[in-house]
Structure 1
């Protein structure tokens, strides 16, 4: 990879300018002044292994060492350890297709869904459009990137799969266009990278995939020496989920002495509701939970008796049940 020249106040990062680990030894592909903007053209989270024409064979042949790549890194002049990098999301434009999959061994209910499944989506209307899950079920597009982060101070290569204090795979669907994300800087220049475009996702991403899409993004990177954060913080662009928060929600509760099991119970109950009410297969119901259902901690004061609720927006259904 070669350095990308700075032109005016925006640089362009090409879709092949990516890496597979958070590692401060990776040379930056570009340097920018604080306050300048970066435009990124990003492949989907499979790094091109899955396409709009893919069949189930793509899941069987998926190479995990070649997924969750991030584009960058970008060196921001003036950023130093102890500072905060402010990431302002100016634009997020998904491609016209995406995919959701059940990948064996992956996801909240991996032990219950051992067979692979793949859904290829057609996206209509760009960032303000929709995608049809099945006849009568439309998902509003609300694009964001799951992977956003900086290089860590710790030596060595760190996987892009989990989240860290310096960012990473946060999968936070409220970091949409107009949001501001604040990340703690651990190394000189911050070394910013981003990837894993999502067209839509429910809080929790329970099956392990959202609507995974190629993405074009534009962000402004600003060094904040007046603000210190220990882990990521963010300011949303406005009310949460305004495109789906337009009708009642149907919720299923999971209750138990163990938080992970309470979460699983809530999702299992929602899967049964989707099967019974909307005639979905169990696998399709699970994928729809990952794309549209929000998980919320409804009660914690009686620990260890946890209550988790799975919220299904009724606005995604175009015909009443």
Structure 2
């Protein structure tokens, strides 16, 4: 693709990817490029009504497709890739959610069986009203409805893992993946450590909204039209785990089981990042995050759980700009190109 041009990528169904790593790039991009990507929902658009049970209309492992990967020129192992989410627009006027027999936080699984029947497989359809900014929930066993705020997010985004691995898109880990956090909304910059030449960025699995933790394992799943800006930040900057930056906050992400390990990873990384940016003593940073931080949970259902550690920038003592001010630079770039 020509450097500096805004292009749009819309994959055909057979061009969707189901792994991070192990795929040929669909396009080449450069630092400073702004581009728009069409993504599918986690069911690949196959669940379109209450009768479309995922177990019947979807085939494993063809769940959670992503669009890409995009080869980022000049990205080398050890660098950091900054990905600014400029906008996330629902591509359809409906979304879908579901429960599965052995999936989600409140059920037994094939690995941890208990003496209770499996959950029913059931589908919920949601109206997505972009003009009104709402998502309409409808109960399936009563007449109850409620309008919830539309809060689009990207559930799955990441780069190729190291060591020639290919990892299923349902897994979150150090390279990103199925992070499933509502914090990955428009206006957020995601920082990912680069593991292979070209980074190989891919994304998909949009949600019209999702509660913290994604308890049933499925958000309000939507196809999206998502616009991104990217920048390669050279040098080994210690981006071992995904990090997020907004206008007001810094966040670190940990992915692991059990949940307490994900919590520890996130808070360990945020403490180190705060020390690096602000020059605080390590225990002083730990104390501040302990009393003023937040710990939004991404998911408690995927192969790894996702926990974030967050701190408001206003509470930090004259923080040095993170990643050479990439968040502000990419935010301003997107504003100029609109």
Asked whether the two chains share a fold, i.e. TM above 0.5, the reply is yes
CA-to-aligned-CA distance 1:241-297 (integer Å, 9 cap, x gap): xxxxxxxxxxxxxxxxx978xxxxxxxxxxxxxxxxxxxxxxxxxxxxxxxxx9968
Q: Match of 2:176?
A: 167
Q: Cα–Cα, structure 1 residues 295 and 81, in superposed 2: closer, same or farther, change >3 Å?
A: closer
Q: Which of 228, 247, 252 is the matching residue for 2:238?
A: 228
Which residues of 2 match residues 79-118 of structure 1 at below 5 A? 79-94=75-90, 95-111=92-108, 114-118=119-123
- The separation in 2 between residues aligned to 1:151 and 1:221, in whole angstroms, is 16
Q: Does 1:43 align with 2:40?
A: yes
Q: Which of 109, 133, 152 is the matching residue for 1:129?
A: 133
Q: Cα–Cα, structure 1 residues 238 and 188, in superposed 2: closer, same or farther, change >3 Å?
A: same
- The separation in 2 between residues aligned to 1:86 and 1:7, in whole angstroms, is 17
Q: Could you tell me how far 1:7 is from its partner in structure 2?
A: 7.6
Q: Cα–Cα, structure 1 residues 237 and 124, in superposed 2: closer, same or farther, change >3 Å?
A: farther
Q: Could you tell me how far 1:110 is from its partner in structure 2?
A: 2.3
Q: Match of 2:16?
A: 18
Gaps of 5+ in 1: 241-257, 261-293, 298-321
Please, which moves more after superposition, 108-117 or 217-226?
Answer: 108-117
* TM-score, L = length of structure 2: 0.65
**Contact 1:6 1:30 (8 Å CA) reproduced:** no
- The separation in 1 between residues aligned to 2:161 and 2:259, in whole angstroms, is 30
Q: Does 1:148 align with 2:157?
A: yes
Q: Match of 1:196?
A: 205
Q: Which of 120, 125, 130 is the matching residue for 2:125?
A: 120
Please, which moves more after superposition, 180-189 or 29-38?
Answer: 29-38
Q: Could you tell me how far 1:109 is from its partner in structure 2?
A: 1.4
* TM-score, L = length of structure 1: 0.69
Which residues of 2 match residues 210-249 of structure 1 at below 5 A? 210-225=219-234, 227-238=237-248
SS of 2:229's equivalent in the other structure is: strand
Q: Which of 65, 72, 78 is the matching residue for 2:74?
A: 78
- The separation in 1 between residues aligned to 2:75 and 2:85, in whole angstroms, is 19
Please, which moves more after superposition, 27-36 or 81-90?
Answer: 27-36
Q: Could you tell me how far 1:99 is from its partner in structure 2?
A: 0.4
SS of 1:66's equivalent in the other structure is: coil
* CA RMSD, Structure 1 to Structure 2 (Å): 2.5
Q: Could you tell me how far 1:83 is from its partner in structure 2?
A: 0.5
Q: Cα–Cα, structure 1 residues 231 and 239, in superposed 2: closer, same or farther, change >3 Å?
A: closer
- The separation in 1 between residues aligned to 2:228 and 2:238, in whole angstroms, is 20
- The separation in 1 between residues aligned to 2:53 and 2:167, in whole angstroms, is 29
**Contact 2:151 2:209 (8 Å CA) reproduced:** yes
Q: Which of 189, 197, 209 is the matching residue for 1:180?
A: 189
- The separation in 1 between residues aligned to 2:9 and 2:59, in whole angstroms, is 24
Q: Match of 2:314?
A: none
Q: Could you tell me how far 1:215 is from its partner in structure 2?
A: 0.5
